[in-house]
């Protein structure tokens, strides 16, 4: 089986794509492509690559029926730069392999994330971990200035401690979550699709969602058929449980919605709304 070379991917290899104010995503390496997925799926039949249309249909079938192992044959390595609070959400996806810059060995740069005014919002009234309506411009500017002042002060203290000989592992303690960090991250396509399914969702925090959006566009160059299938099968789909499916049948038949529990009904209606928006 020949090594997979994708011309479109080669053109962007090692290219930095800016994310947020100071962050980036860079694809360092890739292994495999759409053809590797179908070759891996067909190996038990002893068949080689067929036509593009047949390959696309096979990839759709594999993803739709959750035959995941062929997608594990495709692997990506990224170099990422992001605020620490985003990185701490990132590491919850434990199937990835990560090597991060260490503040015990390195002097951290004076680089902090400052949210744009359009990102400074009030707490959502119905989502305990989300944002709600925007503040007016003057209030948002006040918060933005406070971010900058706090970050500047914390870095001055950090640098002063380092200059006076304090151990770096001690001096770093008060640096805020807005500080930028960098790491190399490797993940196979099956697990990457799961990551993207969660982090592309409209309920995901904005700052991690924009990284997911950029990664999606990067991997599209490597395996466009698989990404297209992912968008159709996973990213732009809504899943209903058994109780919700019965409610859908009743509604379509002109009958009363049998779901009475208020919380369950709210989740059901949100799924309907999401499906219409998609």
Which residues are part of the catalytic machinery?
199
DSSP-assigned states of every residue in the chain: -PPP--HHHHHHTT-EEEETTTEEEEEEEEE--HHHHHHHHHGGGT-----HHHHHHHHHHHHHTT--GGGGG-EEEEEEEEEHHHHHHHTT-TTSEEEE--TTTSPPPS-B----GGG-EEEPSS-TTSEEEEPPHHHHHHHHHHHHHHHHHHHHHHHHHHHTT--HHHHGGG--TTBEEEEEEEEEHHHHHHHHHHHSSTTS-HHHHHHHHHHHHHHHHH-HHHHHHHIIIIIT-----HHHHHHHHHHHTTPPP----HHHHHHHHHHHHHHHH-
Q: Name the burial class of residue 156, with classes exposed (0-12), middle (13-18) and buried (19+) by CB atoms within 10 angstroms of its CB.
A: exposed
d(CA 139, CA 179): 23
């Amino acid at each position: 089986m020949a090594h997979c070379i994708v011309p479109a991917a080669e053109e962007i290899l090692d290219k930095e794509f800016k994310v947020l104010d100071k962050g980036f995503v860079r694809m360092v390496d890739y292994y495999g492509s759409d053809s590797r997925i179908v070759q891996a799926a067909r190996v038990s039949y002893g068949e080689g690559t067929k036509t593009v249309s047949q390959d696309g249909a096979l990839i759709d079938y594999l993803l739709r029926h959750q035959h995941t192992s062929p997608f594990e044959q495709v692997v990506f390595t990224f170099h990422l730069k992001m605020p620490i609070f985003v990185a701490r959400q990132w590491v919850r996806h434990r199937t990835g392999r990560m090597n991060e810059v260490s503040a015990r060995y390195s002097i951290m740069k004076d680089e902090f994330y400052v949210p744009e005014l359009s990102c400074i919002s009030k707490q959502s009234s119905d989502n305990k971990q989300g944002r709600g309506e925007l503040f007016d411009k003057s209030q948002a500017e006040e918060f933005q200035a406070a971010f900058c002042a706090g970050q500047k002060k914390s870095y001055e203290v950090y640098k002063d401690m380092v200059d006076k000989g304090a151990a770096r592992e001690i001096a770093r303690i008060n640096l805020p979550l807005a500080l930028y960090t960098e790491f190399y991250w490797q993940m196979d396509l099956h697990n990457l699709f799961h990551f993207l399914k969660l982090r592309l969702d409209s309920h995901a925090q904005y700052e991690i969602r924009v990284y997911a959006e950029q990664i999606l566009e990067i991997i599209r160059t490597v395996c466009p058929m698989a990404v297209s299938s992912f968008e159709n099968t996973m990213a732009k789909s809504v899943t209903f449980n058994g109780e919700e499916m019965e409610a859908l049948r009743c509604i379509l038949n002109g009958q009363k919605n049998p779901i009475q529990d208020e919380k369950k009904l709210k989740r059901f209606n949100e799924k309907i709304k999401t499906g219409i928006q998609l």
